[in-house]
């Protein structure tokens, strides 16, 4: 039932028996230890629990279910305490991490293990926080997924290769659970791909036919376990259609490239310079220290700050072709590609309609007292004066205090209040951001990249 290409791909991504044994063995040990403590009931969740994990994924998610009667603080104290014990006992190192609530992440026998306390609630409708839902997800999938495990593996690999896998803020793509639900709904990878080729925004899927809310998102997949939740809320319209495009391309000409894309060699500084010169545009970057928070917190703020600065540039006369954000280990980069880096001394300042007598007289009277290039004059019934432009160089504008007033995210603003640097042209390049800059200059959909690789 699977095509030749798909069989070949499965041959590369199915977990091998020794690997399966190892992973499940570690899971069993940890579960045993948690259950033995008598304090919580351990449950293996995630793709390992559902059998839908891809070769090389060494992620274990172990949830520790507690009595819902326990107060939140006690849950955290006990749960984290237990998790730390387990981590110390089995692991080489561990750390506390934060999503909606704290949990422990440990490295155990080379595996990345999340130990997460949650409430054992009676149904999906009674959850106190997102993690309480996970056991229900796991059960729902495990009860249905058996005939479609390989379809899920294919879909995960396909979406990963296309850069649309992952519901984090950076990726804005398909979560693993979403992939499983789509495969269940369409009953396989192939029917899914055929249907997706025809998707339109406003797609609505409701496996249990129980939606209790409406959504504005371009893609809606109602959680079978929670009628008020859209599992596909994380999918941006761009990523939804990058996926649609990939499906169309795959149907037209299937190949392993759709599952294992050729790597993009990042530009060297020299190649970067050549490409920028060829484009004839002007690159500017605002660079500042990365705020000490997880990407899911920082990235949305970077995007908001980016849009704010873009609007500032545009209303100051600098036309922005593209803008993208990048979050590095030490520094963040807000990158702008401008069509013009300099504007003339003159700028128009548009006033009120001339027939609005008191406004008009105030405006004209005021400006006749000021230094100006021309005006007031009347154009299309409004007063116009031509005055000195405040910033004639984009670099000066980006280095000015105006940047702090554009609706920056809270953490971004704090970082910038310490310092920020304006980089221009080749200055924007660094080894850390070489990949980001390369993708920026060669912006193309995942399908375009796959097709280009075929011809090269």
The answer to the question of whether 47 is labelled as a binding residue is yes
Task: Identify residues 31-60 at the interface with its own copies (CB under 8 A).
Answer: none
Q: How far apart are CA 54 and CA 308, in angstroms?
A: 40
Task: Give me the residue label for tokens 């996926």.
Answer: 243
Task: Identify residues 144-163 at the interface with its own copies (CB under 8 A).
Answer: none
Q: How far apart are CA 78 and CA 119, in angstroms?
A: 12
Question: Residue 11 interacts with its own copies (CB under 8 A)?
Answer: no
Query: Contact at 8 Å (CB) between 237 and 216?
Result: no
Q: Which of 66, 90, 94, 241 binds its own copies (CB under 8 A)?
A: 241
- Enter the tokens of residue 202: 């406003």
The answer to the question of whether 234 is labelled as a binding residue is no
For residues 114 and 324, which CB has a smaller minimum distance to its own copies in the complex? 324
Task: Identify residues 259-298 at the interface with its own copies (CB under 8 A).
Answer: 278-282
Angle of helix 4-13 relative to helix 149-161, nearest 10 degrees, comes to 90
| Segment interacting with its own copies, rule: CB under 8 A, options 21-29, 64-72, 304-312, 439-447 | 439-447
For residues 127 and 161, which CB has a smaller minimum distance to its own copies in the complex? 161
- Enter the tokens of residue 214: 């409406």
Question: Rounded to the nearest whole angstrom, what is the least distance from the CB of residue 344 to its own copies in the complex?
Answer: 3
For residues 138 and 257, which CB has a smaller minimum distance to its own copies in the complex? 257
Q: Which of 89, 198, 393, 414 binds its own copies (CB under 8 A)?
A: 198
Q: How far apart are CA 157 and CA 153, in angstroms?
A: 6
Number of residues counted as binding its own copies (CB under 8 A): 55
The answer to the question of whether 156 is labelled as a binding residue is yes
For residues 290 and 316, which CB has a smaller minimum distance to its own copies in the complex? 316
The answer to the question of whether 50 is labelled as a binding residue is yes
- E-assigned strands of 339-428? 346-353, 374-379, 382-388, 421-424
Question: Rounded to the nearest whole angstrom, what is the least distance from the CB of residue 200 to its own copies in the complex?
Answer: 4
For residues 68 and 317, which CB has a smaller minimum distance to its own copies in the complex? 317
Give one word for 210, left, alpha or beta, with left for phi > 0 and alpha for psi -120 to 50: alpha
Q: What are φ and ψ of residue 146, in 5° steps?
A: -50, -50
Q: How far apart are CA 286 and CA 403, in angstroms?
A: 10
Q: Which of 132, 180, 245, 325 binds its own copies (CB under 8 A)?
A: 245
Question: Rounded to the nearest whole angstrom, what is the least distance from the CB of residue 174 to its own copies in the complex?
Answer: 16
Question: Residue 340 interacts with its own copies (CB under 8 A)?
Answer: yes
Question: Residue 354 interacts with its own copies (CB under 8 A)?
Answer: yes
Of 182, 153, 178, which is closest to residue 168 (Cα–Cα)?
A: 178
Query: Contact at 8 Å (CB) between 421 and 288?
Result: yes
Q: How far apart are CA 243 and CA 263, in angstroms?
A: 19
How many other CB atoms are there within 10 angstroms of residue 243's CB atom? 27
Instruction: Tell me the per-residue interface mask from 379 to 398 with its own copies, x by CB under 8 A, - otherwise.
Output: xxx----x-----x------
- Enter the tokens of residue 221: 């997949």
Question: Residue 200 interacts with its own copies (CB under 8 A)?
Answer: yes
The answer to the question of whether 223 is labelled as a binding residue is no
Tell me whether the omega of the peptide bond preceding residue 115 falls within 30 degrees of 0, making it cis.
Answer: no
Collapsing DSSP to helix, strand or coil, 398 comes out as helix
Of 11, 6, 3, 17, which is closest to residue 154 (Cα–Cα)?
A: 6
Question: Rounded to the nearest whole angstrom, what is the least distance from the CB of residue 237 to its own copies in the complex?
Answer: 5
Query: Contact at 8 Å (CB) between 394 and 341?
Result: yes
| Segment interacting with its own copies, rule: CB under 8 A, options 13-21, 145-153, 307-315, 437-445 | 437-445
Annotated binding-site positions: 47, 50, 59, 61, 114, 137, 156, 165
Sites of contact with its own copies (CB under 8 A): 197-201, 218, 237-238, 241-242, 244-245, 248, 278-282, 317, 319, 321, 339-340, 343-346, 348, 354-355, 357, 360-361, 364, 368, 373-381, 386, 392, 441-445, 447-448, 451-452
Annotated binding-site positions for CTP: 47, 50, 137, 156, 165
């Amino acid at each position: 039932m699977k095509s030749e290409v798909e069989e070949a791909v499965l041959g590369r991504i199915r977990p091998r028996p020794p690997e399966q044994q190892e992973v499940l063995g570690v899971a069993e040990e940890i579960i045993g230890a948690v259950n033995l403590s008598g304090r919580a009931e351990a449950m293996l969740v995630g793709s390992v629990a559902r059998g839908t994990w891809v070769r090389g994924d060494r992620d274990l998610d172990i949830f520790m279910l507690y009595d819902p009667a326990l107060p939140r603080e006690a849950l955290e104290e006990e749960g984290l305490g237990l998790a730390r014990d387990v981590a110390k006992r089995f692991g080489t190192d561990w750390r506390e991490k934060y999503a909606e609530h704290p949990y422990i992440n440990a490295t155990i026998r080379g595996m990345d293990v999340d130990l997460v306390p949650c409430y054992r609630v009676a149904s999906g409708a009674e959850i106190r926080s997102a993690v309480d839902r996970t056991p229900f997800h796991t059960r729902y999938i495990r009860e249905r997924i058996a005939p479609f495990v390989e379809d899920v593996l294919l879909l995960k690999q396909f979406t990963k290769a296309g850069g649309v896998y992952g519901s984090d803020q950076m990726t804005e793509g398909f979560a693993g659970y979403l992939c499983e639900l789509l495969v269940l709904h369409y009953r396989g990878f192939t029917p899914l791909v055929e249907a997706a080729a025809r998707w339109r925004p406003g797609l609505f899927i409701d496996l249990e036919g129980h939606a209790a809310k409406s959504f504005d998102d371009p893609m809606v997949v109602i959680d079978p376990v929670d009628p008020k939740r859209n599992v596909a809320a994380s999918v941006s319209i761009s990523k939804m259609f990058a996926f649609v495009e990939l499906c169309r391309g795959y149907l037209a000409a299937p190949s392993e490239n759709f599952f294992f894309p050729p790597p993009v060699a990042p530009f060297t500084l020299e190649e970067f310079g050549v490409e920028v010169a060829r484009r004839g545009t002007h690159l500017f970057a605002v660079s500042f220290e990365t705020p000490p928070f997880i990407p899911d917190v920082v990235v949305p703020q970077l995007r908001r700050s980016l849009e704010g600065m873009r609007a500032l540039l545009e209303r100051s006369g600098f036309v922005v072709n593209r803008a993208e954000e990048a979050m590095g280990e030490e520094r963040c980069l807000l990158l702008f590609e401008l069509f013009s880096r300099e504007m003339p001394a003159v700028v128009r300042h548009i006033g009120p309609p001339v027939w609005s007598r008191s406004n008009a007289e105030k405006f004209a009277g005021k400006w006749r007292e000021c230094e100006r290039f021309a005006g007031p004059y009347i154009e299309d019934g409004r007063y116009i004066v031509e005055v000195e432009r405040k910033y004639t160089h984009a670099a000066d504008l980006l280095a000015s205090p105006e940047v702090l007033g554009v609706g920056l995210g809270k953490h971004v603003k704090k970082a910038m209040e310490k310092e920020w640097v304006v980089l221009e042209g080749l200055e924007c390049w660094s080894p850390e951001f070489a990949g980001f800059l390369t993708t920026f200059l060669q912006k193309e959909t995942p399908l375009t990249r796959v097709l280009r690789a075929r011809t090269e």
